[in-house]
Amino acid sequence: MSCYLAVDLGAESGRLILGTISEGKLEMREIHRFANGMLNINGQYHWNIGSLYAEIVKGIEQCVNVEGVVPESIGIDTWGVDYGLLAEDGSLMGLPFAYRDPRTTGLIEEFCSLMPKEEIYRRTGNLFASYNTLFQLFAAKKHHPKMVNAASDLLFIPDLLAYFLTGVKATEFSFATTSQLYNRSTNSWDSELFATLGISTSIMQNVVSAGTKIGTLNKTVASRIGGHAIPVVAVATHDTASAIAAIPFTSSRSAFISSGTWSLMGVETDKVIITDEALAKSFTNEGGIEGRNYLLKNLMGLWVLQQTRRSIKDSGTEYDYPTLVHLAQKAESFTAFVDIDHASFLNPEDMCKAIADYCVATNQPVPQTHGQLARVVIESLALKYRETFDDIQAIAPAEDIMITGGGINNKLLCQLTANACRVNVTAVLPEGTAAGNLLTQAWGMGGLESVDEIRSVAAASSIPVTYYPTEAQQWNDAYARYRSIVAAMK
């Protein structure tokens, strides 16, 4: 029996999950959970990296000192793109910005006047999003040039936390490929992009493969757990890559959805797909375990529902997610649709108002009840999946969809996704990211032999639930309406 400890950080919360592999199955147990969220400091959005680190250390202490388990290793995964800067003495130069900070607004067009979009895509294979590290650095160079020029190192969020724990600086491959700074042809930081930014590539770290042991807990942390210098392993540190690593695909023609605050929808491919069609259809390429590639789209996902719930709470009524989804299930279908990825939903002060404003702008009825609001969001997300699935079909045909992550607990969304996409949808591993994190550690530490074995253990450790499409004509009609509404707002 082997035990590993996953640090799984999301935009709303963080968890430390203890994983035990025995007789070919993975058992997971959450041993520490804590809140996360952006700090709004004078209109700028940051991550409280010090608090995250303190909670991670608290979780490690809980594991060893209270649970009595010394794990074989620790691995960290987080959301993508965000970073911190270190000074020459190794100290952190301010709180890391959060990807929803508005400082990058309008900078895609400005940067692309210096290097054409097609050339950037050819080099990186990444879709253009204002929150990508490329445009965050462009903003930093414009607004904080002295800080950028004085920086000795750039560490992405999981790198930064691993550095705090071990003193070792490294970047894992999957995370590097989210940044729009990594050349997928040369497998190196793109010197031309950095030259255009006016920043030296020397601030970037060596890129390591998932499963690489990067160091051990420093003496300060080890002294709090009986001196145990536990290894820290670079898992697929981008949470999406960890989640996909554990999906037990039953076919090479299955699409995937990693469903959480963001929804990442795409297909696993043997090589990077950088074509005019992929760019035209807004696909991004992200790296995965064992150098695999994921051709996917980053969709706003459950963020809009999460923020709708928060806005309802701010107005005086609080629901847990199951209750809100139940209200949505009872609400009337197809009353209005929104484009989940519209810029107005990226980080509004009041999501309910943002939805109402969108409906007014598109001559649709404004949702009048909390159930109607949630129904509009969930149906719109399912239709966004249909739009994306149709685009996938044009490049890498898929026959069904496998969903992993916390979103599979929303059974209404799973069923409506099957209805909208007109294919079977199989939900596996609600803790898919943590499972991928833990199993990649086991692989890196020699407990598992291959990615195939990772997925075999994942398959043996979960009970899949398949949703079958229904109401085909109603959903086809709804999709046609949705497409016309979305087109009117572009």
- What percent of the residues of the chain are helix, what percent strand, and what percent coil, each to the nearest 5? 45, 20, 35
Q: In terms of C-beta distances under 8 Å and separation of at least 24 residues, what long-range contacts does 112-116 make, across chains too?
A: 114/196, 115/192, 115/193, 115/196
Q: For residue 11, give both structure tokens.
A: 């935009």
DSSP string of 390-450, one letter each residue: HHHHHHS--SEEEEESGGGG-HHHHHHHHHHHTS-EEE--TTHHHHHHHHHHHHHTTSS--
Residues 154 and 83: beta-carbon distance below 8 Å: yes
* Main-chain dihedrals φ then ψ at residue 475, nearest 5 degrees: -75, -35
What are the CA-CA distances from residue 460 to residues 23, 267, 429, 463 (Å)?
Answer: 10, 22, 11, 8
Residues 6 and 75: beta-carbon distance below 8 Å: yes
Residues 405 and 256: beta-carbon distance below 8 Å: no
For the chain, the C-alpha Rg in angstroms (whole number) is 22
Closest by Cα among 331, 340, 339, 341 to 367? 331
**Left if phi > 0, otherwise alpha if psi is -120 to 50, otherwise beta: which for 162?**
alpha
Question: Which amino acid would we find at residue 364?
Answer: Q
What are the CA-CA distances from residue 309 to residues 36, 45, 221, 263, 337 (Å)?
Answer: 16, 21, 38, 18, 18
452 is catalytic: no
431-465: string of b/e by CB count within 10 Å (b at 16+)?
bbbbbbbbbbbbbbbebbeebeebbebbbebbeee
The single residue of 77, 153, 159, 239 carrying the catalytic annotation is 239
195: Cβ–Cβ under 8 A, 6 or more apart, which residues?
none
Residues 414 and 401: beta-carbon distance below 8 Å: no
136: how many CB neighbours lie within 10 A of its CB? 24
- Hey, which residues are catalytic here? 239
